[in-house]
Structure 1
Amino acid sequence: MKHKYCKNPVSFADMIDLINRLLGPGGCEWDKSQTFASIRRFLLEETHELIEAITEKNVSEILDEIGDLIFQLGFLVVLAKNIGWFDEKDVFNGIISKMIQRHPHIFQNPQKLKKSEVQLNWNKIKSETTRGLNAPVLGSVPKSSPSLVAALLIQERASSVGFDWLEYEQVLAKVPEEIEEIRKASTAVNKEEEFGDLLFSIVNVARWIGINPELALKTANDKFIGRFQKMAFVAKSRGSDLNDMSFVEKNKLWEEIKINTD
């Protein structure tokens, strides 16, 4: 579909033209009132909606949500350009240069590396780059990250400088150790602290086996919701109500649903 403000609306440049129109004379007052701070909310919303679409493998929604997210990023680029910070050329030059630097086995010294070797190279180069900026190893972990994601990033950064367990069994052993600490905790503050240590240890297990803990927990949440809703539906179809059923009856029904959905 052709539009008045985009001769051939299929590129990032066309979208930038559209945003310039929205923010220019005679443009949209709501759009013109937006700032870097106000856009944060929409970035989070669009990111979560895209993740949801990917999880559900909904191709049309993935297409739509990628567009929404790219629009938010383009909007930020135009805001930055308007106040003299940088423009889209700076953004693309920065990311392309970074990707070339982080992939020396492709662009500098072509060679075939294993996935694990690529990851080690990536972390080494990233560490050397940030060290050159006098940045602390853990300083690059965004403070706004969800706690599970932050824990994973912290552990990856620490591992990149050699602070890590040598064997997977050592990582697993920390989990029952932290559970025992919770049992021994005598105050609410102690219990909260030890529970945090347990979560941190579990995230480390996830890291060692290549699992994103945030996505894994989301999958578990969705699975529980689906089974619980199915349980309520089955109970109702049999003339029962979950509120009136005993725990034993509900647990028996839960196991039935679990067997039929696994």
Structure 2
Amino acid sequence: MVNFQSMERYSFQDLNRIMALLRQPGGCPWDREQTHESIRRNMLEEAYEAVEAIDEKDPGHLKEELGDVLLQVVFHARMAEEEGLFTLDDVVDGICKKLVYRHPHVFGTVDARDSGQALNTWDAQKREEKGQRTAADTLDSVARSLPALMRAEKIQDKARKAGFDWAEMGPALDKAEEEMGELRQAVEQGANVEEELGDLLFAAVKVGRFAGLDSEQALHGTCEKFIRRFRRVEELAGGRPLDSLGLHRLEELWQQAKQDEA
């Protein structure tokens, strides 16, 4: 057992100390065994759960999930300090310096009259900071660990800022139709199907951008709609196994489920 006294209320410094105790000899065997790689997925999952709490507009849930995200930050910083790489204070120092550097319109002499100009200033400072000399460098900097639809949207947005985009939605819709035709051809020929599917999805994201929509959120909405209608189909089937009904009957039930939502 470690030397620790419970408190009525804890601070950020207490969280860092608790993590250090969990990782030290005599602490938690599981926590001591972890590496950056072993808990990599945890960071993603906790971030998504925090986003879900935001979508739910539930302050209590959001507070909890932000704590889980913060735990991941402290966990990784603790392991890095043990390896002699950097400390949690170094992490805080780094983000403070980044905020000051990327807001010269607040902490310097640059002028930004609205949020658009502020964002342009941020992007310009970021390009200089990262040594991004070309527009292609900015595209390549978009994290590959992002969900693909989100990454596609960010890449397209950076290309737009470089002047590489259509002026209206029409050509984007035409491109989506073209990619759909190429996907059909690829399926018929049994070649390059994955590539053509990717092209179609990329084109669909472009249409979403012109419509002012978040493609990731749009697909999440469709997933929820599918689950809701699928549940209704099961109800309409009256307990009979769906795989015993045949596709024609299932299509009838699906159309009924859609009508029930109207």
TM range (shorter): 0.7 to 0.9
Q: 2:84 aligned with 1:96, yes or no?
A: no
Residue 137 of structure 1 aligns with which residue? 138
Q: Within 5 A, what are the aligned runs for 1:209-248? A: 209-236=211-238, 242-245=242-245, 247-248=247-248
Relative to structure 1, is the Cα distance of residues 28 and 127 closer, same or farther in structure 2, using a 3 angstrom cutoff? same
Q: CA deviation at 1:88?
A: 2.0
Match of 1:198 among 185, 197, 200: 200
After TM superposition, the structure 1 stretch with the greater mean CA deviation from structure 2, 220-229 or 200-209, is 200-209
Preserved contact between residue 203 and residue 213 of structure 1 (Cα < 8 Å): yes
Deviations 1:154-207 (A, max 9, x none): 223333433333333332321112112223335322333222111111112223
CA gap of 1:204–1:30, structure 2 versus 1, over 3 A, is: same
Which position in structure 1 is the counterpart of 2:36? 36
Q: Which runs of 5+ in 1 are unaligned?
A: none
Aligned-CA RMSD value = 3.0
Q: Say which SS state the counterpart of residue 144 (structure 1) adopts.
A: coil
| Distance change (3 Å), C-alpha of 1:100 and 1:258 | farther
Percent identity of equivalent pairs: 37
Equivalent runs, 1:81-120 vs 2, <5 Å: 81-108=81-108, 109=110, 111-113=112-114, 115-120=115-120
In structure 1, the residue matched to 2:147 is 146
* Distance in structure 2 (CA, Å) of the matches to 1:76 and 1:93: 16
Alpha-carbon shift at residue 61 of structure 1 (Å): 3.3
Give the match for residue 172 of structure 2: 171
1:12-31, aligned counterparts within 5 Å? 12-31=12-31
Normalising by structure 1, we get a TM-score of: 0.82
Q: Secondary structure at the match of 1:136?
A: helix
Structure 2 Cα separation of the partners of residues 143 and 20 of structure 1: 31
Partner Cα distance (1:12, 1:136) in 2: 37
1:127 and 2:93 equivalent? no
1: CA distance between counterparts of 2:228 and 2:18? Answer: 41
Residues of 1 paired with 2:29 and 2:236: CA distance?
51
Q: How does 1:63-74 map to 2 (within 5 A)?
A: 63-74=63-74
Offset at residue 132 of structure 1 (A): 5.6
Match of 1:208 in 2: 210
Instruction: Quote how far apart the aligned CAs of 1:149 are.
Output: 2.5
Q: 2:259 & 2:107 partners in 1: Cα distance?
A: 51
What is the alpha-carbon distance in structure 2 between the residues aligned to residue 260 and residue 116 of structure 1?
44
TM superposition score normalised by structure 2: 0.82
d(CA) in 2 for partners of 1:103, 1:210: 26
Superimposed CA distance per residue, residues 78-131 of structure 1 (whole angstroms, 9 cap, x where no aligned partner): 111222222222212222222233334444346431x44444333333223223
Structure 2 counterpart of 1:50, one-letter code: A
Inter-partner Cα distance in structure 2 for 1:5 and 1:66? 24
Answer whether contact 1:22 1:31 (CA < 8 A) is retained. Answer: yes
Question: What SS does the corresponding residue of 2:251 show, helix, strand or coil?
Answer: helix
Aligned to 1:164, the other structure's residue is in SS state coil
Q: Which runs of 5+ in 2 are unaligned?
A: none
The C-alpha deviation readout for 1:48-87, integer Å capped at 9, x for no partner, is: 3333444444544333222222111111111112222222
The one-letter code sitting in structure 2 at the alignment partner of 1:64 is: E
2:132 & 2:227 partners in 1: Cα distance?
47
